[in-house]
Chains A and B, each alone.
Chain A
Amino acid sequence: MPLAKNKHMITATSLTKSYGETTVLNIEQLEIPKGQCFGLVGNNGAGKTTFFSILLDLIKTSTGEIISNDIAVAQSEEWKTFTSAFIDDSFLIGYLTPEEYFYFVGELRGIDKAAVDLFLETYVDFFNDEILNQKKYLRDFSKGNQKKVGLIATFIGNPKVVILDEPFANLDPTTQIRLKQLIKAETEKRELTLLISSHDLNHVTDVCNRIVLLERGAVIMDKETTAKTLQELEDYFSA
């Protein structure tokens, strides 16, 4: 077994993304250690989703690269074996029922039906009886319930890296609180590197042990979460 070359799960080096003249992302150096819960905040257009999309090799970088677990994501497809993500509803297959979707994801990650069923049992509370056995296709669920499915599906097969774009948006208050508990439980259970972007400063400072603030594609602030972090962020955004 090769020894891990460093303790960082994800390393971004001189990363830029521009469309014509406009630079939407410009990150000199960013390292995310293994097992960290990493929170990304910033106003619209700050580059949060762009960063995640590059990390998932959904868009190409203009310069620089992202290394995930010693794999350059733009060079090899190997990162897919330990990474999962939920970015938006294009990550759902509308004509499947939630169960079929979970089984499909499970099969892609080498988890059989029985194991998926077992896995789903642990999230019964989170689903709140609104997801399983509904005889409905995903496209007919409400935005919030669709999101529940997408979020839970990312945890199938114990991926080492999970990327969630705006996980709290569209969820009802109960589910938001449950999601926070779920995230805390998952990160305590095993070494999971979790990347979250959010507009909800309260939630994101609550669950993440590090917050990075992006503005116009650049890192403005990068801090370990403390009791003061929320106040600092609020000050920044109200200024």
Chain B
Amino acid sequence: MPTSLFQLSRKKFLRAPQLEAKLAIKILMGFVILYFGGSLLFLGIVVYPILSDQFPERDPISIINSVLVLIFIFELIIRYFLQQLPITEIKSFLLLSIPKKRIIRNVLFRSLLSVYNAIPVLLYLPISISMLKDDYALDQVIFWWVAVTAFSLCLNFISFLANKNNLALAGFVVLLILLYLGESYLDIEILRAVGYFFDALITQPLWVLVPLGIFVLLYQITFNFLKNNLNLEGSLAAKKEVANAGRYDFLDVFGSHALFLKNDLRLIIRNVRPRNIVLMSFLFLFYGLFFFTQDNQPEAMLVFASIFISGGFLLTYGSYVPAWDSEYYAFLMSQNLSYKKYLDSKWRLMTFAIVVSTVLSLPYLYFGIKIYLLILSGAAFNVGLGTWITLYGGLLNKQPLKLNVKAKAFENTQAFSGKLFLMIIPKMVLPVLLYIIPASFFNETAGYLTLAASGVLGIVFKNQILAQMVKLFAKEKHEMLNAFSQK
């Protein structure tokens, strides 16, 4: 008899290689979660009293209702990038005599236990209590809470379904833009309708059936999706691609580096996961639009934005170097390859991507020369230091990667896991400090110059840094081989 599926996932964690590293990361993540959880709880507690204080003529809950849709959208984006459904282990159970339904139910139920689903408790429960104090009837408050919670849990499934479908995200973004345009120019009140819906719910509790219905429906859709894909898996696996015998000889201009550059390019073009990740890195180009369009943004935010604009490829693809080569790492390590050339060509690839992004970001000149100078000095930082920090992080990130995962539904997308988020921190905080400190002591120009100079220094001392990286690379060889062989 198979023991509980829960026990298996517990064992998977405890018996994983590099348990200590994983544990340390879990603990760090724990603090991050505590921080965000605490902030949410605080927000939940204070928002209602503050609103009734500031807008005595309006019902606070109505104001909250009117912005709920924005909270939901934000929540969905966060979930889309960070939340993962625990589905990796499904495959091993398929041939066991456990009913498929039970496996899927287990996965879906566990996904409901995810920390992201604490939002309704942390944020909405204190609001509900404030409502009670404000003389709302108990049943009204309960129905309101159940409705927002049901919506929040719906997002759990929506983010999963969207994650499995590349078009879904694009579709969602387009839909949002259309709704926003419709709202602001054509006076179509779709987004605001959500607010009215929750207002109505307080007077007519029966409306609670709508979110509950949607929740049940989404559960069923996700359930069926998983069930059908479990069946299809076999036939999908038989599919074979016709090799695209593209010529990569044009890369020969890079001389002895061409060998690895060619392979990296093939890796990106011919494998599902790196392809998606690189496509995603283009989205980073638009990151500046969030910040540069608003007045009175703190300067730290502007530095962030410029680092993101030129560093999309670094943050996405770069973080997984050399894990991209994990499938055949033993082969590489037994070949007569120079670590120096190997790492150097990875550096060149990242530098190339930064230069391309910087050129593509020329339209930001529209926001003024200062913004573009910031982007340029950020790019210099990325080339000189960001690349090495990324490579260093990549060397420490000993997680094997499967390159060409056919049915994405059965693999962790791994694309934006919390762990990687932690590695991003030095890449982001350092440039901000390099800019902010001189800028606040002297002026903006000093900020640009320091940030750019740090990058130039990195380029000047490239050979020294590279030599250190080669040493580290050689030192970590056996541990990496061991970690990469764990599938």
Contact = CB atoms under 8 A, between A and B. Distances in A.
Contacts of A100: 266
Given A95-B267, A136-B240, A136-B242, A105 B335 contact: yes
Interface stretch (A83-91, A114-122, A180-188): A83-91
Contact of B481 (A58, A104, A140): A58
Interface in B437-487: 478, 481-482, 485
Contacts of B243: 97, 134-137
Contacts of A56: 330, 333-334
A73 B25 CA distance: 35
A140 B237 CA distance: 10
A44 interface: no
Contact of A58 (B245, B270, B334, B337): B334
Given A108-B337, A135-B243, A95 B331 contact: no
B336 A80 contact: yes
Nearest to B479: A60
B6 interface: no
B133 to A, nearest CB: 60
Interface of A: 56-60, 77, 80-81, 83-85, 87-88, 90-97, 100, 104-105, 107-109, 134-137, 139-140
A83 B240 CA distance: 34
Per DSSP, are chain B's interface residues mostly helix, strand or loop, or mixed?
helix
Contacts of B271: 95
Q: Which of B331, B403, B404 has the most CB of A within 10 A?
A: B331
Contacts, number: 81
12 contacts: A58-B333, A58-B334, A90-B328, A90-B330, A93-B331, A95-B267, A95-B403, A97-B245, A104-B259, A104-B263, A109-B336, A140-B240
A172 B192 CA distance: 68
A137 B259 contact: no
Given A85-B334, A96-B263, 19 more contacts: A56-B334, A58-B330, A58-B478, A60-B478, A84-B335, A87-B330, A90-B327, A90-B331, A91-B328, A94-B404, A97-B245, A100-B266, A105-B335, A108-B336, A108-B337, A109-B336, A136-B243, A137-B270, A140-B241
B335 A108 contact: yes
Interface residues of B, number: 27
B334 A93 contact: no
Interface string B332-352: 011111000000000000000
B329 interface: yes
Contact of B331 (A57, A92, A139, A140): A92
Nearest to A60: B478
A58 B270 CA distance: 28
Contacts of A109: 335-336
Q: Which of A85, A95, A107, A136 has the most CB of B within 10 A?
A: A95
A28 B460 CA distance: 51
Nearest to A83: B334
B439 to A, nearest CB: 45
A134 to B, nearest CB: 8
